[in-house]
Structure 1
């Protein structure tokens, strides 16, 4: 049982840190559903 099992996830990545698609790829091994994924620039 994982913390992310059967959850809906919103991902907001950082352009200079970890981008959203990279975090989304890590969650593919769980049963979490990514409903929104974006990479933003926080200045």
Structure 2
């Protein structure tokens, strides 16, 4: 599975907000992250 962590590093301090959703019912837990930039773009990881 490819990691999108490098995309997060490229955003640096350009984040407006980050929101996390964690589903602890399944193992391993699934994590969904919404990152919004100051320029109005959003990414889901």
- Under a length normalisation based on structure 1, what TM-score does the superposition of the two structures give? 0.29
- Under a length normalisation based on structure 2, what TM-score does the superposition of the two structures give? 0.28
Higher relative contact order (CA 8 A, sep 6+): 1
Larger radius of gyration: 2
Instruction: Give the structure with the higher percent strand.
Output: 2
